[in-house]
Amino acid sequence: MSNLIFDKSRAGRRAFAQAPGASAAVAIPEKFLRSDNPRLPEASELQVVRHFTRLSQMNFSIDTQFYPLGSCTMKYNPRACNTLALLPEFAGRHPLGPVSHGQGFLTCMYELQEMLKEVTGMKGVSLTPMAGAQGELAGVAMIKAYHEARGDHDRTEIIVPDAAHGTNPATATMCGCSVKEIPTGPDGDIEIEALRAVLGPNTAGIMLTNPSTLGVFERHIKDVADMVHDAGGLLYYDGANLNAILGKVRPGDMDFDVIHMNLHKTFSTPHGGGGPGSGAVGVNNRLLPFMPIPVVGKSEVDGVTVYDWLSEDDLPQSIGRLSGFMGNAGVLLRAYVYMRMIGREGMERIAEYATLNANYLMARLRDAGFELAYPQRRASHEFIVTLKHEAKSVQLTAMDVAKALLDRNYHAPTTYFPLLVPECLLIEPTETESKETLDGFVAAMIEIVRAAKEDGVNYKEAPYTMPVRRLDDVKAARQLDLAYRRDAAEAAS
Amino acid sequence: MPFIPHTDKDTLEMLAAIGADSIDDLFDEIPAQLRIDHLHGVPEAHNEMEVSRLMRNRAAMDGSPLCFIGAGAYEHHIPAAVWDIATRGEYYSAYTPYQAEASQGTLQTIYEYQTMITGLTGLDVSNASLYDGASALAEAALMAVRVNRRVKTGRVLLAPGVNPVYEQVAAAIAGSQGLSFVRLPRDAATGNVAFDELADDQAPVAVVIQQPSFPGTLEDVDRLTDWAHAQGAAVIGIVNPVSLAILKAPGHWGEQGADIAIGEGQPLGVPLSSGGPYFGFMTCKQKHVRQMPGRIVGRTTDLDGNPGFALTLQAREQHIRRSKATSNICTNQGLMVTAATIYMSLLGFQGLVRVAQKSHENTTRLVDGLVAIDGMERLYAGPYFHEVALQLDRPVAPVLAALAERDILGGYDLSSFASADALMVCATETKTSADIDLTIAAFADVMAGAGRGKV
């Protein structure tokens, strides 16, 4: 049964408190005006509040469930970050307002840049990219700009390991580069000889995630860095897994030239049901001139510290602007509040407890009979379980386990990524989960497999307890219904 | 430790289960020479009370000036319910709805959003949103290349009223894929496209039209859309969603309508917040849907035949197509779209019309007062929505600085765009008559006080 906001709509009903009073008719010639009625909902304030509150209750979220989604760092989003970022002066500040009315905000942004430089070991930070993928775009664009500024126009190949996020190759394409994929060895490190074979005069750079998406630390990172640099290429660090190494090892010290950070992962800004993200970039000295603008600068004027925007005039070689203003400023404020509450010591503890939780969960699942993709390796802050045997013996797939977990009130781990491990679950518990929660999850995993093996339970039709049963994806794609058409609905009824 | 729940006992038990002696052992695969001990550059932790004090002090430094700046971001009243609900943990702390059965709230909200924004723009289908309005132009231009596959020039023509920052952003994001952005001629009197100077173009792949234009004028969108289609170009409309309460929807421009509409979604219930997070919207004709970037939600049925919602057409996206995807985007601005959907539901079309009309009325009151001041006149003739460019008889920056000292942000300095001493003012429904009259008086004072040329 349809239960859309449009179903509650009645002609003439409104949330009367929410619109300004009537005005005189506008003095705009007829030809510019619209004559149709786009039929937004017509509902009372209570109806709207009730509808969207009810919809929210149909979501899993960190605030309501354990969410061990590998590669996504679903840690607790402290409430204070949101409350303080939405203080009226911050929420109401116009992006083009003068710096005289922005020193508070700009101070936070400058200090955020400085803290991110410190935790990554980079020499400069630009906060403007609006998501991880846009940070990647900025990074590859800077690599290209660097080579072009040196007259090195043939360097258009980006090397990407086969385990990489899909955004890596997609970004390379966006930047007009071609992609060279290299394989991962049996122990999870990249194949050094395969890397050597693709390096050459066309190499622009390599994009690496470390720890990788396989949940292991790339042990030969120094050799990789030396090889790529010797070949004239640069190293790009995908910060998806920065949470795993915070305070332990820094991308700058691993000789990366450019990195992006996912502030919505490592620094706990909200995922918001699919955004906003925030993909600040860090660079070493050779890429400083190419940073995306604007960047926040600091100067002394008559003995007073003033924070201001650095733009085209200050960074004439910049790759340019990536957003209408300065990226997801409100997200940056949330990250700033988080970092101030965590502080130096807390920052060093994050990777420790994220790694402890991952290795604990991995050990418990291994002891319970689950097969690990890389049993000989330490887990970073995440690890991979493969169900390839269960899929053969009792037709229990990663998808089945994912859906069965939903029925046990756990969000599913990441499934079928990375692509090179069959029937995989990529599990990342994060540091904010307690031992009891992890133990409960292990018990649920054990019971799901036991029931499949011993009781012949299959989960092909799970979940059973969610607001909907398994959805018909094929129908969704073949009979596209992307917007409610009242006329069509009325005609059908 | 903040947000880490482990007791010492927990830690010891967990290490025992792992078979490690210490947490440090868990990092033994990281080469020792790369390890660091401390992050000296990060300040010591402060508790929530202390950080709250710090942030309140910082916020107070920025104040709450009376703001008449628009230029792509607009102050509107946001009903309390919008963010009260949008920041419920179930929306705020959920991930992308890949597990559809456990994400029906987010998915249905996006479906309802797609319905509302297609209605406003007069087009058939919408994606789940993009990062912001400016980056949406980059994505729309790349999409136009895919839609208009016969045209190989990569020439994207921009109406003179396209926001110059949008052009910069589009060039930065899409410039390395063979696109070039070329401006159409501007009529100095109206600020709009100079139709007299329009020649048949060499196969443009797209023509971009912004309505209202960046400096606030209303372009003859019907004529320009028809001209663009006659050139074989796809038409991309950039629109302000609040203006669509009264202005013609891009889907109805000219004979055939725009092919793609994009814009900044911020006016629909998203706070100004120094520039973000906002959201870019994108809608298009049904036949182009498979070329659209970004997430899309569709309605389907579940095993029991009940309706439900899921991400669809994912074969376009980076996690499936990798280097051949329509875009590298994986995020939409989910939280902002949630807010916008609640905003549009609360206002309804009639409420949105009132917001648009009141904004128009307030801007008219402000402009009428300002042009009565010696040394201020309209830069361009013709109708406007809620933003107007004004020519001054002196440099703009000192005038705006003098007003800022009175806690009035008197407009956006348009000098670099218009090659003239010009500024742009906007008064939305949030301004009272008293605010506007006070501002007119302040302008008059500043303009008169120090005399021509030496404010």
What percent of chain A clears pLDDT 70, i.e. is strictly above it? 98
Nearest to A330 by CA among B71, B95, B279, B440: B279
Tell me, yes or no, if B99 comes closer than 8 A to chain A by beta carbon. yes
- Would you say residue B365 lies in a domain? yes
- Average pLDDT, whole number, for chain A? 95
- Would you say residue B454 lies in a domain? no
Confidence check: pLDDT of B324 > 90: no
CA distance B336 to B127: 14
Whether residue B421 sits in one domain with residue B311: no
For chain B, first and last CA: distance in Å? Answer: 55
- Its domain, for residue B428, covers 66-76+348-449
- Would you say residue B455 lies in a domain? no
What percent of chain B clears pLDDT 90, i.e. is strictly above it? 90
Task: For residue A439, count other CB atoms closer than 10 A to its CB.
Answer: 14
DSSP helix/strand/coil, A173? helix
CB pairs under 8 A between A and B: 694
Copy the structure tokens of residue A417.
Answer: 């990524």
DSSP helix/strand/coil, A486? helix
Paired strand residues for A234: A205
A461: which chain B residues are within 8 Å (Cβ-Cβ)?
A: 303
Are the Cβ atoms of B42 and A115 closer than 8 angstroms? yes
Confidence check: pLDDT of A291 > 60: yes
Residue B51 pLDDT class (50, 70, 90 cuts): very high
Whether residue B426 sits in one domain with residue B320: no
Kindly state the average pLDDT of the residues B208-215: 98
Whether residue B355 sits in one domain with residue B306: no
Whether residue B285 sits in one domain with residue B226: yes
Tell me, yes or no, if B310 comes closer than 8 A to chain A by beta carbon. yes
CATH of the domain at B378: 3.90.1150.10
Whether residue B308 sits in one domain with residue B160: yes
Whether residue B377 sits in one domain with residue B236: no
Identity of the residue in A101, A144, A325 whose CB atom sits nearest the CB atom of B404: A101
Kindly state the average pLDDT of the residues A95-111: 97
Per-residue b/e over B27-65, b at no fewer than 16 CB within 10 Å? beebeeebebeebeebeebbebeebbebbeebbeebbeb
Kindly state the average pLDDT of the residues B58-85: 98
CA distance A276 to B340: 14
Kindly state the average pLDDT of the residues B417-437: 95
Nearest to B102 by CA among B302, B316, B338, B250: B302
For chain A, first and last CA: distance in Å? Answer: 12
Tell me, yes or no, if B184 comes closer than 8 A to chain A by beta carbon. no
Identity of the residue in A89, A364, A434 whose CB atom sits nearest the CB atom of B62: A89
Phi, psi of A116 (to 5 degrees): -70, -35
Whether residue B445 sits in one domain with residue B405: yes
Confidence check: pLDDT of A492 > 60: no
Tell me, yes or no, if B222 comes closer than 8 A to chain A by beta carbon. yes
Contact A297, A362 (CB under 8 A): no
Q: How far is A394 from chain B (nearest CA, A)?
A: 22
Confidence check: pLDDT of B189 > 80: yes
Kindly state the average pLDDT of the residues B141-151: 95
Whether residue B353 sits in one domain with residue B322: no
Q: Which of B342, B367, B398 is the last residue of a domain?
A: B342
- The H or E element spanning position A250 is none
Q: Could you tell me the CA-to-CA distances from B141 to A291, B256, B317 in Å, in that order?
A: 24, 19, 17
Are the Cβ atoms of A363 and B45 closer than 8 angstroms? no
Residue B454 pLDDT class (50, 70, 90 cuts): very low
Q: How far, rounded to the nearest angstrom, does the alpha carbon of residue B16 sit from its chain's CA centroid?
A: 52
Residue B453 pLDDT class (50, 70, 90 cuts): very low
Residue B450 pLDDT class (50, 70, 90 cuts): low
pTM of the model as a whole: 0.97
Q: What is the pLDDT of residues B276-315, one digit of tens each?
A: 999 999 999 999 999 999 999 999 999 999 999 999 998 8
pLDDT at A489: 62
Q: Could you tell me the CA-to-CA distances from A175 to A232, B36, B280 in Å, in that order?
A: 19, 34, 21
Confidence check: pLDDT of A41 > 50: yes
Q: Which of B283, B309, B342 is the last residue of a domain?
A: B342
Residue in chain A lying closest to B264 (CA): A324
Kindly state the average pLDDT of the residues A366-387: 97
Contact A161, A184 (CB under 8 A): yes
CA distance B113 to B342: 9
- Would you say residue B190 lies in a domain? yes
CATH of the domain at B261: 3.40.640.10
- Would you say residue B3 lies in a domain? no
Residue A430 pLDDT class (50, 70, 90 cuts): very high
Residue in chain A lying closest to B304 (CA): A469
Q: State how many domains chain B has.
A: 3
Q: Could you tell me the CA-to-CA distances from B153 to A295, B139, B145, B203 in Å, in that order?
A: 34, 17, 9, 7
As a 3-state breakdown, chain B gives helix, strand, coil percent values, each rounded to 5, of: 45, 15, 40
Whether residue B192 sits in one domain with residue B306: yes
Confidence check: pLDDT of B455 > 50: no
Confidence check: pLDDT of A1 > 60: no
Are the Cβ atoms of A483 and B125 closer than 8 angstroms? yes
Q: What is the pLDDT of residues B223-261, one digit of tens each?
A: 999 999 999 999 999 999 999 999 999 999 999 999 999
Q: How far is A300 from chain B (nearest CA, A)?
A: 18
Whether residue B383 sits in one domain with residue B338: no
- Across B87-150, the runs of DSSP E, i.e. the strands, are 125-126
Tell me, yes or no, if B338 comes closer than 8 A to chain A by beta carbon. yes
Q: How far, rounded to the nearest angstrom, does the alpha carbon of residue B295 sit from its chain's CA centroid?
A: 17
- Would you say residue B430 lies in a domain? yes
- Would you say residue B1 lies in a domain? no
Whether residue B406 sits in one domain with residue B268: no
CA atoms within 13 A on the CB side of A162: 14
DSSP helix/strand/coil, A238? strand
Would you call A8 exposed, middle or buried from its count of C-beta atoms within 10 A (0-12, 13-18, 19+)?
A: middle
Q: Residue A102 region, left (φ>0) first, then alpha (ψ -120 to 50), else beta?
A: alpha
Structural domains of chain A sorted by starting position, each given as residue range(s) with its CATH number in brackets: 80-341 (3.40.640.10)
Residue A93 pLDDT class (50, 70, 90 cuts): very high
- Would you say residue B2 lies in a domain? no
How would DSSP label each residue in A329-395? HHHHHHHHHHHHHHHHHHHHHHHHHHHHHHHHHHHHHHHTTPEESSTTS---S-EEEE-HHHHHHS-
Confidence check: pLDDT of A490 > 70: no
pLDDT at A491: 56
Phi, psi of B39 (to 5 degrees): -105, 80
Whether residue B335 sits in one domain with residue B188: yes
Residue in chain B lying closest to A160 (CA): B323
Identity of the residue in A29, A43, A357 whose CB atom sits nearest the CB atom of B345: A43
Strands B66-67, B260-264: parallel, antiparallel or unpaired by DSSP? unpaired
Tell me, yes or no, if B150 comes closer than 8 A to chain A by beta carbon. no
Q: What is the pLDDT of residues B334-376, one digit of tens each?
A: 999 999 999 999 999 999 999 999 999 999 999 999 999 999 9
Q: What is the pLDDT of residues A199-244, one digit of tens each?
A: 999 999 999 999 999 999 999 999 999 999 999 999 999 999 999 9
Tokens 């993909």, located at residue: A279
Are the Cβ atoms of B272 and A270 closer than 8 angstroms? no
pLDDT at B451: 47
Are the Cβ atoms of B333 and A1 closer than 8 angstroms? no
Nearest to A225 by CA among A237, A235, A210: A235
Q: Which of B342, B357, B381 is the last residue of a domain?
A: B342
